Structure 1
């Protein structure tokens, strides 16, 4: 692995040398004018016979070099070392999880949401070389965790996921896809995929149109349906009963909308699975992800480095000491 500067943007500090040169030029001109004002050239020469213009200039050069060494020290030269987290072959995968109230329905055991969380956890374990991102959505969508190789952090977020995190009612799959695309942080969608987990209850035309645009950019969306086509009631924690329709007063029946999820997957060359058997679903989706070319990725947060800023710090110190020890006047024999 080659050397690199950790804080390359500090290179702009080196421009201060130009200011030093300007000030040095002003001082030199001031010295000349002062000498001329004294008058008699022979007298002036006698008065400054111990002064060495060469040494004066050389001391200034030493100070400039010391400053540049300080800038390089600040930029922190380093070299990756060790084997943990440096390079891994994989793709970037964003899990987009539906956290709407309908995900509390228990037509699958232990519930739609708990089954979805179990699926994500096992899916992450099955893809150790992939980087992970998380998007939560209900009536709105937002990025819970940007793309990262830190699976442990992702697992914590998954464990804590609940409808309380996104209190806005609804299921905006289109917004979830849009936020998922933003998570990748690039227009180029190669080596990237989305795994969207939802009951797909609300029909979202925006999602279907957006999925077509994602396909054009090379992004694969695999969808996972949670629930049953026959549906069931949604528990209401506030009353201890079932959630009621405010207009009719009747219990709301939440059904799995497979058609929309299937269309999204088909539009992006992905695959749709209804989640009944977690291991089977993981096997199907992994087979689909295997069609995506792998790339070598590195997460700088997990790399181990050897740092060499001390080399420039030592050079700066030596230059400053040399500048202080070097007299400005000529040697006696001069």
Structure 2
């Protein structure tokens, strides 16, 4: 089945509307200029060699050229051979807290960097599983849908930081809801969410949401980042510790009870992150309890690209527009 590799580039076709507007404006200005001259006989003499048809044809050449460039950028592809590889694994969505409290350094170098180290090791540990990534703070976003392209997953994890989520906070219920939407709703098993957070803000909707998701066959495993004693949060914008309304230094503490309850309500486990290797081992043992399904790996399918044909077509029409005259071919 044909597909566009970069389908979002097709929005560039709206530029054709602007191009049509420019063409209409050019016609308007030509008519306005003719009216300013006033003398019809003089106008006919001055425009004797002008061809309205050629002017329209040159515009159409530019429009086709622009269309070809947009289709070339979108890269039309046709599926080719597919490697005969079948993977047997589960679907794992990693929900990663990127709120500012994750910059606390009660575990070195800070909570966020240790979370990244853990996710990298999880990706390496689950080569046969499809992995998705959700980042959250005050809101949650699906950063990467489920995929076996683990190289892309590592890239998205590296880019995860507080600046990519505008609203701050730790809304765990929304993180769970967005994570669950990444799964195939028809499957009642083969699914797990790994929630990595300090759980600092108490979210009353988190437990009910977790129970609802567990009823759909999803195991939720939680990983606590930080320490119960807590640590001040360095604000990168001021290079000083975050203060409350009274000017007191804010201490961010790990909220273990909520994370433990979340895991207990969904047949998962809670792990406090101290050593990433130990956490990965515990999570791997738990995920082994989930029945695995054999699926074909579409990421290994080869696609034939046709962008070069569209670029060549655009170049051909651009050259044609440059040499095609606006004046009439008639000499008399």
TM-score, normalized by length of structure 1?
0.66
- 1:77–1:237 distance in 2 versus 1, CA, 3 Å: closer
2:129 touches 2:148 (CA, 8 Å); kept in 1? yes
* 2:104 equivalent in structure 1: 105
* 1:229 equivalent in structure 2: 228
- 1:218-274 Cα shifts (integer Å, max 9, x gaps): 1001000000000010001122110001x2111100000001111111111000000
* 2:168 equivalent in structure 1: 169
* 2:284 equivalent in structure 1: 286
Q: 1:14-163 maps to which residues of 2 (within 5 A)?
A: 81-83=82-84, 86-163=85-162
Distance 1:112 1:91 in 2: 27
- 1:74-125 Cα shifts (integer Å, max 9, x gaps): xx796x5434xx3111101000000100000000011000000000001110
- 1:77–1:114 distance in 2 versus 1, CA, 3 Å: closer
Aligned-pair Cα RMSD in Å: 2.1
2:79 touches 2:302 (CA, 8 Å); kept in 1? no
Distance 1:108 1:87 in 2: 40
Gaps of 5+ in 2: 4-77, 305-332
1:138 touches 1:168 (CA, 8 Å); kept in 2? yes
How far residue 185 of structure 1 moved from its aligned partner, in angstroms, is 3.7
Which is higher, the Rg of structure 1 or of structure 2? 1
- 1:151–1:241 distance in 2 versus 1, CA, 3 Å: same
How far residue 167 of structure 1 moved from its aligned partner, in angstroms, is 2.1
Q: 1:140-289 maps to which residues of 2 (within 5 A)?
A: 140-245=139-244, 247-289=245-287
Secondary structure of the 1:184 match is: coil
4+ residue stretches of structure 1 with deviation over 3 A? Answer: 80-83
* 1:297 equivalent in structure 2: 295
1:148 touches 1:299 (CA, 8 Å); kept in 2? no
Secondary structure of the 1:238 match is: coil
Distance 2:232 2:203 in 1: 22
Number of residues of Structure 1 aligned to a counterpart in Structure 2: 232
Distance 1:292 1:240 in 2: 45
1:95 touches 1:132 (CA, 8 Å); kept in 2? yes
